[in-house]
Structure 1
């Protein structure tokens, strides 16, 4: 599979989107993970702290902490 190349406009849109996400990482990261769990409920089995629930945990503090940690890591990872 070949390398993915973005146009300058696409790259600018991605960077702009990340800047918006950085303004409220807790809100957007939890929303992102909640959406995944709504679309694919079996994904909750990937998280030990969610395995005992059948609900989409929109306000689960452990999910929120995990989501924030992941988004902060991704937002600060240097672009190569």
Structure 2
């Protein structure tokens, strides 16, 4: 009896020729009709984009208070509804959604955009475990806004898009993290000393 993973024929010890493969990116796989559904519902949502952004982040901080540690700007804000910073950040996040929908028919452009966004989130110290929470709160925020336009098909297509966004951003984050971790301790010390000397 061996372990379940032994059937996958992974090498027990990496050989000197062994190269760690790059993470596989997911495929989006939306039909033209599903793409159109995203575009149409986004057109309706754009009218309330600032409101949606604020709702998403207020709900995010209520359901996952630990997220405030990542979004340090909002850590000590008493009334989030009145925060100009929260409104601005919500608009930035929803601009990512807007850019994703605008690139929905060109998956290569969309993938590149999201991958780079994930890499930049490593520099912002915003780890991937929080990305899905934003997607969940986005769906909760748009449901009442879309009213009778909210259907199981609409819900499914937005879930697919956010799952894809999270997965590609995570791959970008991990690539940036791996690059950072590959630096030798001497290189890290040198960079640190150069930064403090400036």
In the alignment, structure 1 residue 3 sits paired with structure 2 residue 27:
yes
Structure with greater Cα Rg:
2
Name the CA shift for 1:72/1:12 in 2 (closer, same or farther; >3 Å): same
* Structure 1 stretches of 4+ moved >3 Å: none
Q: Is the 8 A contact 1:44 1:51 kept in 2?
A: yes
User: Can you list the C-alpha shifts for 1:28-69, whole angstroms capped at 9, x where unaligned?
Assistant: 11112222222211111111211225x672332211111112
Q: What is the TM-score with the length of structure 1 in the denominator?
A: 0.73
- Map 1:1-80 onto structure 2 (within 5 A): 2-53=26-77, 57-76=80-99, 78-79=102-103, 80=106
Quick check: which one's helix share is greater?
2
Aligned length: 79
Gaps of at least 5 residues in structure 2 are 1-23, 107-198
Q: What is the TM-score with the length of structure 2 in the denominator?
A: 0.34
Gaps of at least 5 residues in structure 1 are none
RMSD: 2.4
What's the secondary structure of 1:69's corresponding residue?
A: helix
What's the offset of the Cα at 1:13?
Answer: 1.8
